[in-house]
Structure 1
Amino acid sequence: MNKIYVLDTNVLLQDPYSIFSFEDNEVVIPAVVLEEVDSKKRYMDEIGRNARQVSKLIDSLRENGKLHEKIPLENGGSLRIELNHRSFQQLQEIFVEKTNDNRILAVAKNLSLEEEAKENGSHVILVSKDALVRVKADAIGLYAEDFLSDRVVEVDHIYSGFNENYVDNAILTKFYEQGEILVSDLSFSSSCYPHQFFIMKDAFGGSSSAIGMVDSSGTRIRKMSHKEEHVWGIKPRNVQQNMGIELLLRDDIQLVSMIGKAGTGKTLLALAAGLWQTEDLGRYKKLLVARPIVPVGKDIGYLPGEKQEKLRPWMQPIYDNLEYLFNTKKPGELDAILAGMGSIEVEALTYIRGRSIPEQFIIIDEAQNLTKHEVKTILTRVGERSKIILMGDPEQIDHPYLDEYNNGLTYVVEKFKDQSIAGHIKLIKGERSNLAKLAAELL
């Protein structure tokens, strides 16, 4: 039996092509949803772009028939703009205010009642990314679900960048003596990706262990090539930070993604590696550090002062880490150092479109607040001989239509995990302080 899916506005604003995600079923867009989309199309951010895309897409479908009737879709389903069913009789005693959300609920409820009265009526499902709309739907006996087609990975399956396995002592001995082993030597070799790390422990309980990294071809596991005791004064404190340093210092890896909770050292490690390679080794001409002003594309507002003064409150977490790395004590000392060096640029992502960024070490902080389109825009700015670092905590999302499994950072991790120019690591242990570690776990 075919189903009827009633779409909330946030589904279309998250993915304009979501109407093609419901196979051969009927998709219904309430008229109030079009009104909400119309109110967003003037926005100069990702939501505005998607609103304009939805408008163009629905307008193009008019060639196939009348919108208030069933228009066939390429995937075998159909689309209809629902102009009726705006009666509030069924809900006026439950929800007094005629808000847009309640109007959408009324459309879905009335459609459901109509289908229930038929002998072989269709099952009506409200699709919304708003948890409270789904709760309201359940309260009035209406089936509702989240829109999950935009998720790039299933729950709890985000790629971590490393595996911990037990191996025969003979394999450990071979790894120590030759510095590498074949991936085919391992029974779990089918899950290997380029630049994936392996923590190998003795299967018989011995104290021997080793850390290896899969090469770019995905056929060999080799010892890590960087054994610096410290990088720009920062010493890795745990095994995942060691892995992160390896990825950050490898010049054959152009894209590095790092995820981890607050206090795991993502920003500090990336800044230290960037400063060392830019200032000491001269691999890059400039260190560019940027973070989104949520959402990307939003104006930085009416803060007083020039551009840098406006940006300072948004960029302060970056400056805090730089103050630690440069060991500054006095007010204004860091600004004087940065002005004297001239090779460090701290910027917002607001105006990144149109730029080309060659020969730079690029750090993008808080990347979990980027959408798929925004992260694509950023990565396509990267020029020759540049390296880009994307980092953030997918569990801390500030964007209204993103979650842990559909944000731009998770999207990059999953799409690039089998690419030879990319590497990824998930930092586990908090190192900021015992209090910060405990707060991240308990709160």
Structure 2
Amino acid sequence: MTKIYVLDTNVLLQDPYAIFSFQDNEVVIPAVVLEEVDSKKRYMDEIGRNARQVSRIIDGLRETGKLHEKIHLENGGTLRIELNHRSFHQLQEVFVEKTNDNRILAVAKNLSLEEQTKEVGRPVILVSKDALVRVKADAIGLTSEDFLSDRVVEMDGLYTGFEEIYVDAETLNRFYVNGELALSEIPGYKLYSNQFVILKDSLGSSSSAIGMVDKKKTKMKKLVFDHEGKQIWGIRARNVQQIMALELLLRDDIPLVTLTGRAGTGKTLLTLATGLFQTEDLGEYKKLFVARPIVPVGKDLGFLPGEKQEKLRPWMQPIFDNLEFLFNTKKPGELDAILAGMGSIEVEALTYIRGRSIPEQFIIIDEAQNLTKHEVKTILTRVGERSKIVLMGDPDQIDHPYLDAYNNGLTYVVEKFKGQQIAGHVKLIKGERSALAQLAADLLK
């Protein structure tokens, strides 16, 4: 039996192609949704872009028939703009105010009641990214669902970039002696190119080893760099995941690196240190380019006074905090003087990256979990020849209203580039900021 899916505005603003995600079922867009989309199309951000794209898609479908009747889609389903069923009679005693959310609920509820009067009525399902709208729907006896088609990975399926494998002592010793191990000797695991493997003794001894799967996925080999006790700009790896991160950051044959992990795991500090090392000390890149999306946490501060750099400073302060630590600055303004004198470090907001080409640079994108799929594609297509780009962030700390841990741009890149020969990923687990920060991350979930 086919179903009727009523779409909330936030579904279309999150994914303009959502109307094609419901197979052979009927998709209904209430008229109030079009009004909300229309009110967003002048925004100069991702929401505005999606609103304009929705408008173009629906306008293109208009050529195939009358939208208020029924239009057949290529996937076998149908689309209809619902102009009727707007009566608020069924909801007026429950939800007094005629807000746009309540109007969408009224359309879905009236359609559901109409279907129940038929001999073979179809189920009506409201699809919304808004949890409270789904709660309201449940309160009035209406079936509702979250829109999950935009998720790149299912729950608890995020790629970590490493695998722990227990082997016998003989196999572990053979890896130590030869520096490599054929993957055929550790069957039963699906491993990817550039994935790390932690070999552990199956008998429970403390013996272990770290290796990395080669690009052809035939062997795991010892790491290229010796990270034991090695310092880079005063920074050294404090745990096994940080060793993995340093390996990826220092490898010039892996131009795309993604790092995930909670606050305090060392993502930004390690990346800045290796970026400075390769740019300033080794001269492998002409410039260190650091950027992050401008997404406020809490209430927006509004317009800020001053020139562009003065406006950007509050948003980019976490980057400057790490640079102050690496340069060991003590006095106010000392870091600015150092950066001005060097000229090879550029700290910028992602707002200004469109249209640029960035060759021969070490590119760092912080807080990448607040990027949409489209935004992260725009960034990666800016990367020029002989550049290396690092995307990092915490997928569990999303400040964007329409993103979550499973559909944001960072997760999207991690999953799509999983196993690609030019890409590597690792999830940092252990916090190294302070005992307090680690305890807070563990307790305050």
TM-score normalized by the length of structure 2: 0.97
How far, CA to CA, are the matches of 1:32 and 1:331 in structure 2? Answer: 53
Contact 2:30–2:81 (Cα < 8 Å) also in 1 = yes
- RMSD over equivalenced CA pairs, Å: 1.2
How far, CA to CA, are the matches of 2:74 and 2:442 in structure 1? Answer: 47
1:146 CA drift (Å): 0.2
Contact 1:71–1:80 (Cα < 8 Å) also in 2 = yes
Assess, with a 3 A threshold, how the Cα gap between structure 1 residues 185 and 230 changes in structure 2: closer, same or farther.
same
Q: Tell me the residue number matched to 2:375.
A: 374
Q: Tell me the residue number matched to 2:208.
A: 209
Deviates more, 1:101-110 or 1:68-77: 68-77
Q: Tell me the residue number matched to 2:251.
A: 250
How far, CA to CA, are the matches of 2:44 and 2:132 in structure 1? Answer: 27
What are the residue-to-residue correspondences of 1:140-151 with 2, within 5 Å? Answer: 140-151=140-151
Contact 1:161–1:196 (Cα < 8 Å) also in 2 = yes
Q: Tell me the residue number matched to 1:334.
A: 335
Q: Tell me the residue number matched to 1:6.
A: 6
- The answer to whether residue 293 in structure 2 is matched with residue 292 in structure 1 is yes
How far, CA to CA, are the matches of 1:192 and 1:311 in structure 2? Answer: 42
How far, CA to CA, are the matches of 1:140 and 1:205 in structure 2? Answer: 56
Q: Which amino acid aligns with 2:24?
A: D
1:207 CA drift (Å): 2.8
Q: Tell me the residue number matched to 2:18.
A: 18
Contact 2:356–2:382 (Cα < 8 Å) also in 1 = yes
Q: Tell me the residue number matched to 2:115.
A: 115
What are the residue-to-residue correspondences of 1:264-413 with 2, within 5 Å? Answer: 264-294=265-295, 302-413=303-414
Contact 2:161–2:425 (Cα < 8 Å) also in 1 = yes
Aligned length: 439
Q: Tell me the residue number matched to 1:99.
A: 99
1:11 CA drift (Å): 0.4
What are the residue-to-residue correspondences of 1:152-301 with 2, within 5 Å? Answer: 152-189=152-189, 191-228=190-227, 229-294=230-295
How far, CA to CA, are the matches of 1:185 and 1:262 in structure 2? Answer: 37
Q: Which amino acid aligns with 2:110?
A: N
The 3-state SS of whatever aligns with 1:64 is coil
1:83 CA drift (Å): 0.1
What are the residue-to-residue correspondences of 1:9-158 with 2, within 5 Å? Answer: 9-158=9-158
Contact 1:300–1:310 (Cα < 8 Å) also in 2 = no
Deviates more, 1:58-67 or 1:318-327: 58-67
Q: Which amino acid aligns with 1:423?
A: G
How far, CA to CA, are the matches of 1:24 and 1:207 in structure 2? Answer: 56
Contact 2:195–2:419 (Cα < 8 Å) also in 1 = no
1:294 CA drift (Å): 2.2
Contact 1:286–1:360 (Cα < 8 Å) also in 2 = yes
1:267 CA drift (Å): 0.3
1:390 CA drift (Å): 0.2
How far, CA to CA, are the matches of 1:424 and 1:41 in structure 2? Answer: 36
Q: String of CA shifts for 1:394-440, please: whole Å, max 9, x gaps.
A: 00001111000000000000000110000000000001001111111
The 3-state SS of whatever aligns with 2:425 is strand
The 3-state SS of whatever aligns with 1:210 is strand
Q: Which amino acid aligns with 1:370?
A: L
How far, CA to CA, are the matches of 1:334 and 1:227 in structure 2? Answer: 31
Contact 1:293–1:300 (Cα < 8 Å) also in 2 = no
Deviates more, 1:303-312 or 1:5-14: 303-312
Identity %: 79
Q: String of CA shifts for 1:238-263, please: whole Å, max 9, x gaps.
A: 00000000000000000000000010
Assess, with a 3 A threshold, how the Cα gap between structure 1 residues 75 and 119 changes in structure 2: closer, same or farther.
same
Please, which runs of 5 or more residues in structure 1 have no aligned partner?
Answer: none
Deviates more, 1:203-212 or 1:392-401: 203-212
How far, CA to CA, are the matches of 1:344 and 1:397 in structure 2? Answer: 27
1:132 CA drift (Å): 0.3
The 3-state SS of whatever aligns with 1:36 is helix
Contact 1:300–1:311 (Cα < 8 Å) also in 2 = no
1:15 CA drift (Å): 0.6
1:206 CA drift (Å): 2.7
Assess, with a 3 A threshold, how the Cα gap between structure 1 residues 64 and 300 changes in structure 2: closer, same or farther.
farther
Q: Which amino acid aligns with 2:232?
A: V
TM-score normalized by the length of structure 1: 0.98
The 3-state SS of whatever aligns with 1:398 is coil
How far, CA to CA, are the matches of 2:374 and 2:404 in structure 1? Answer: 15
The 3-state SS of whatever aligns with 1:52 is helix
